[in-house]
Amino acid sequence: MTAVQLPGNPVIEAGQLVSTSPATGAEAGRLPVASELDVRQAVERAREAGVWWAGLGFTGRRERLLRWRALLAKRIEQLAELVHAEGGKPVADAIVEIVTAIEHVDWAARNAGRVLGPRRVRSRLILAEFSGHLEYQPYGVVGVIGPWNYPVFTPIGSVAYALAAGNAVVLKPSEYTPAVGQWLVDSFAEVVGEQPVFTAVHGLGDVGAALCRSGVNKLAFTGSTATARKVMAACAETLTPVLIEAGGKDAMIVDSDADLDAAAEACVWGGMTNAGQTCIGIERVYAVDPIFDAFVDKVVARAGRLTVGPEGADIGPITMPSQVDVIRRHIDDAVSSGGRAVLGGPGAVQPPYVHPTVLVDVPEDSAAVREETFGPTLTINRVRDADEAVTRANALPYGLGGSVFGRRRAVAIARRLRSGMASVNSTLTFAGMSTLPFGGVGDSGFGRIHGEDGLREFGRAKAITRRRARSLLPSMTFERTPTDVDRLVKAVKMMYGR
């Protein structure tokens, strides 16, 4: 339990989890805390509901998911206000988050049948007398554990795809944003009221741990790398498969032929939207020597114009009060180890706010370069050329997303980034493209949400062969004769032995 009663820190009162605004301390949500038994029962109810939901088929689910999408779109302002009230996120940022989530619901609903539905698969000469059939069947109940920083977009990245694939879902929202999680569940129940297909359980980390051990058939986790390790360990006890979307320390590379105004604009957005509390946020920048000074000036000019405050500002409060200490430590460490603050700096940390901070010449081994900061801060370091930039960008255990600005070499550089995703001449945009998979490598996790891979993540491949004719070269039978085996050897030599 969070010990310090700062605005934004959730508290438990009489068995209820109470979330508060990090800016004002005003209560945002009050929800019953689930016991271990409650979690198990929620999963059992979901199991039954899942059978009904799977039975609707792709068409029935598509129609209902599209109705849910319409409800989300109609109530976008209401949901954005709640995201703002509970997490402190500026309303405009919340709108962008929800728009992206709605797009994912739409795409998952429309494409699940095509991607996961039964289809014939070509046979090969060796088994030409058989036809192949493939389909992706639902797991049953998928447990989803989500973070607070994108309390709509992040769970929906798993929830919409898992539902479209025919699973029931039990969501454990972050203790910092339970009301947003419950809002999603309640709005879904307005469209699908017959069975508890999508429900939530609330509480602290122990409720998440209980969900891992509750008998869910798959667990989709989004959160920190440290918690991901605990989730995997718990799921290992029952061989429950997991999908891990963990933290990042994404780099941006600015090459010599980049449009510097566009690069600076995207850099400030990618690093400071949502006060920098973005898993795929730009945290480190490597700019090549010839354009370094001009680029830094442009970033400082733009970031210096951003407003900070509770209402109507570009940058809101830090959602999780304890994160302020991490941000302060990173800034202090960067400055004391030889880095320079060209905007903000140690004085920029004014809880619950952190003002935009741009640090240059920061040693590559400092915490500000190596660890997830999750604040409106950027380190910008000078590199000789794009090759050095790639080497430095790839030097961390994290590998979530990344960005490259440039013309001639930009796509080639993006391909060399050790990450699951990259944006060329933009930042963060891959997250909104529902046709593309989303996920990381290394400490950033494994498995994919979004796109076709994201749908397949929530379906078990079911492979069927069907005999179409008698076998000319019978081999998989004790009825085979020595002549059959001789013929088989000759055929194999003819087909593969050249």
Catalytic residue annotation: 245, 279
Per-residue tokens: 221 = 């986790």
Site string for ligand NDP, 81-120 (x = CB under 6 A): ----------------------------------------
SS3 state at 366:
coil
Toward ligand NDP, which CB reaches closer, 212 or 341? 212
SS3 state at 379:
strand
Toward ligand NDP, which CB reaches closer, 231 or 410? 231
The CB-of-227 to ligand NDP minimum distance in angstroms stands at: 3
The yes or no reply on residue 279 touching ligand NDP (CB under 6 A) is yes
Contact stretch for ligand NDP (CB under 6 A) within 226-234, 339-347, 360-368, 464-472: 226-234
The CB-of-24 to ligand NDP minimum distance in angstroms stands at: 20
Half-sphere exposure at residue 194, Cβ-oriented, CA atoms within 13 angstroms: 11
Q: Which of 149, 139, 44 is nearest to 94 (CA)?
A: 149
Contact stretch for ligand NDP (CB under 6 A) within 59-67, 77-85, 207-215, 481-489: 207-215
Query: What secondary structure letter does DSSP report for 147?
Result: -
The yes or no reply on residue 227 touching ligand NDP (CB under 6 A) is yes
The yes or no reply on residue 250 touching ligand NDP (CB under 6 A) is no
Single out the residue of 9, 111, 154, 379 in contact with ligand NDP (rule: CB under 6 A): 154
Site string for ligand NDP, 372-411 (x = CB under 6 A): x---------------------------x-----------
Rounded distance between C-alpha atoms, residue 255 and residue 429, angstroms:
19
The yes or no reply on residue 147 touching ligand NDP (CB under 6 A) is yes
- 360 backbone dihedrals φ, ψ, rounded to 5°: -125, 165
Single out the residue of 24, 224, 256, 471 in contact with ligand NDP (rule: CB under 6 A): 224
The yes or no reply on residue 248 touching ligand NDP (CB under 6 A) is yes
The CB-of-89 to ligand NDP minimum distance in angstroms stands at: 13
The CB-of-39 to ligand NDP minimum distance in angstroms stands at: 11
Contact stretch for ligand NDP (CB under 6 A) within 72-80, 84-92, 173-181, 464-472: 173-181
The yes or no reply on residue 246 touching ligand NDP (CB under 6 A) is yes
318 neighbors 277 (Cβ within 8 angstroms): yes
Residues 6+ apart with CB under 8 A from 182: 29, 31, 173, 200, 202
Map tokens 């830090």 to a residue: 318
Residues 6+ apart with CB under 8 A from 35: none
Toward ligand NDP, which CB reaches closer, 101 or 410? 101
The CB-of-59 to ligand NDP minimum distance in angstroms stands at: 30
The yes or no reply on residue 181 touching ligand NDP (CB under 6 A) is no
What's the per-residue H, E or C state across 303-353?
HHCCCECCCCCCECCCCCCCHHHHHHHHHHHHHHCCCEEEECCHHHEECCE
Number of residues in contact with ligand NDP under rule CB under 6 A: 31
Q: Which of 5, 8, 4 is nearest to 318 (CA)?
A: 8
- 214 backbone dihedrals φ, ψ, rounded to 5°: -90, -5
Element (H, E) at 284: strand 282-288
The yes or no reply on residue 149 touching ligand NDP (CB under 6 A) is yes
Q: Which of 294, 49, 93, 319 is nearest to 185 (CA)?
A: 49
SS3 state at 471:
coil
The yes or no reply on residue 167 touching ligand NDP (CB under 6 A) is no
Work out the end-to-end distance of the chain between its first and last CA atoms, rounded to an integer number of angstroms.
Answer: 67
Single out the residue of 175, 250, 283, 457 in contact with ligand NDP (rule: CB under 6 A): 175
Using only the alpha carbons of the chain, give its radius of gyration: 25
Which residues in 424-443 contact ligand NDP (CB under 6 A)? 440
Q: Which of 168, 146, 172 is nearest to 157 (CA)?
A: 146
Residue 138 preceded by cis peptide, ω within 30 = no
The CB-of-234 to ligand NDP minimum distance in angstroms stands at: 6
Q: Which of 218, 84, 101, 208 is nearest to 154 (CA)?
A: 101
Single out the residue of 145, 253, 334, 358 in contact with ligand NDP (rule: CB under 6 A): 145
The yes or no reply on residue 335 touching ligand NDP (CB under 6 A) is no
Amino acid at 137: Q
Toward ligand NDP, which CB reaches closer, 79 or 449? 449
Toward ligand NDP, which CB reaches closer, 20 or 154? 154
Toward ligand NDP, which CB reaches closer, 232 or 473? 232
Question: Which residue of this chain has its Cβ atom nearest to ligand NDP in the complex?
Answer: 208
Q: What is the dihedral of CA 26, 28, 29, 33, to 10 degrees?
A: -60
The yes or no reply on residue 138 touching ligand NDP (CB under 6 A) is no
Q: Which residues bind ligand NDP (CB under 6 A)?
A: 145-150, 154, 172, 174-176, 204-205, 208-209, 212, 222-224, 227, 230-231, 245-248, 279, 372, 400, 440, 445
